[in-house]
Amino acid sequence: MGKVTWGFTSSIDGFITGPNHDMSWMSGLGSSAEGTVEDLASKVAVIISGRSGYDAAKAQAAERDELTSEAYGGAWSGTEFILTHRPEELADDASVTAMNCPIAAAVDRAQIIAGDRDVQIISADIGRQALEVDLIDEMQIFVAPVFLGDGTRIFDVPGGRRVYWELIAEDEANKDAWFRTFRPKRS
């Protein structure tokens, strides 16, 4: 069975999107080392994302470039689950599977589809939910050299909550963006 990963690119100040789920900031970052995106994409069979990100991507489709219009800049193909309380509203979009269920049920279904490949969560809120029920095996994070000042925080818990991580891999090929892989420290 593959891993459940939480993967994203973040600004230095901890945002994975700008205000209103804006992704245009990623276009100014330059490119990754050759093969990086394709290698990462090849490991992922199922992506789990949220309704807010889905809606923003649809609304911004005309403004997004190749890098930000599709997962892994179009290098990925597989099954995408959208977690939403209103799945019937996405019934006409055959490119996604809309689900109204707890994250654990979505991950269980995704792992069956994924087999030996990974399930990747690309939503801050869904990642937080998965972390709360101990479903995250790895966090894969690119930290880009940009401040956004506002947007969607990586981890937003009113009142705070500490989660400690253990570094398991460093990517030295991508010097422009700090790329690391962590796993949660479990007690």
Spell out the per-residue pLDDT of the chain, length 187, in tens.
899 999 998 999 999 999 988 888 887 676 677 877 788 888 999 999 999 988 888 887 677 666 565 676 777 889 999 999 999 999 999 989 999 999 999 999 999 999 999 999 999 999 999 999 999 999 999 898 899 999 999 999 988 889 999 999 988 877 777 889 999 998 7
Q: What is the pLDDT of residue 68?
A: 61
Dihedral pair phi/psi, residue 30, rounded to 5°: 90, -165
In order of 20, 33, 135, 149, 186, the CA distances from 173 in angstroms are: 32, 6, 29, 28, 29
Nearest CA to 121 out of 2, 1, 5, 3 is that of 5
CATH architecture observed for domain 4-8+34-136: 3-Layer(aba) Sandwich (3.40)
Q: What is the pLDDT of residue 88?
A: 96
Q: Is the dihedral of CA 84, 89, 92, 93 positive or negative?
A: negative
Q: What is the pLDDT of residue 130?
A: 97
- The span from the CA of 6 to the CA of 32, in Å, is 19
Chain centroid to CA 19: 17
Q: What is the pLDDT of residue 30?
A: 67
Nearest CA to 153 out of 177, 183, 127 is that of 127
Q: What is the pLDDT of residue 72?
A: 67
Q: What is the pLDDT of residue 75?
A: 75
User: By three-state DSSP, how is residue 67 classified?
Assistant: helix
- The span from the CA of 165 to the CA of 139, in Å, is 9
